[in-house]
Amino acid sequence: MKNKAQRFIKYPLYSSNSWLEKMMVKLHFGGIARCSVCGFLTLLLVKGENLRETFRCLKCQSTNRQRQLAYVCCQAIGSIKEKNLSSMKDFSKLDNFVIYNTEAHGAIHKQLAKTKNYICSEYFGDSYKSGDFVNDIMHQDLMNLSLMDESVDLVISSDVFEHIPYPYKAHQEVYRILKKGGRHIFTVPFYQTEFLDEDRTIIDKNGKTVFLKDPLYHKDPLRPEGALVYKIFSLEMLIKLRKIGFKTNFYHLYKPLYGIFGSNAIVFEAIKE
Set out the domains of the chain in order of their start, with CATH numbers: 6-272 (3.40.50.150)
- Number of Cβ within 10 Å of residue 221's Cβ equals 11
CA 39 from chain center: how many Å? 19
pLDDT by residue, tens only, the chain of 273 residues? 778 887 788 888 877 888 889 999 999 999 999 999 999 999 999 998 889 999 999 999 999 999 999 999 999 999 999 999 999 999 999 999 999 999 999 999 999 998 999 999 999 999 999 999 999 999 999 999 999 999 999 999 999 999 999 999 999 999 999 999 999 999 999 999 999 999 999 999 999 999 999 999 998 888 888 999 999 999 999 999 999 999 999 999 999 999 999 989 999 999 999
3-class DSSP assignment, residue 58: coil
Angle between helices 236-244 and 167-177 (to 10 degrees): 40
* CB-based contact 205:179 (threshold 8 Å): no
Quote the pLDDT of residue 221.
82
Phi/psi zone of residue 88: left (φ > 0), alpha (ψ -120 to 50 degrees), beta? alpha
Query: Whole-angstrom Cα distance, residue 61 to residue 48?
Result: 15
The model carries a pTM of: 0.95
Quote the pLDDT of residue 10.
83
* CB-based contact 132:138 (threshold 8 Å): yes
Quote the pLDDT of residue 4.
80
Check the CA dihedral 113-115-116-121 and report its sign: negative
3-class DSSP assignment, residue 211: strand
Residue 258's contacts (CB-CB under 8 Å, 6 or more residues apart) are 33, 34, 35, 36, 67, 71
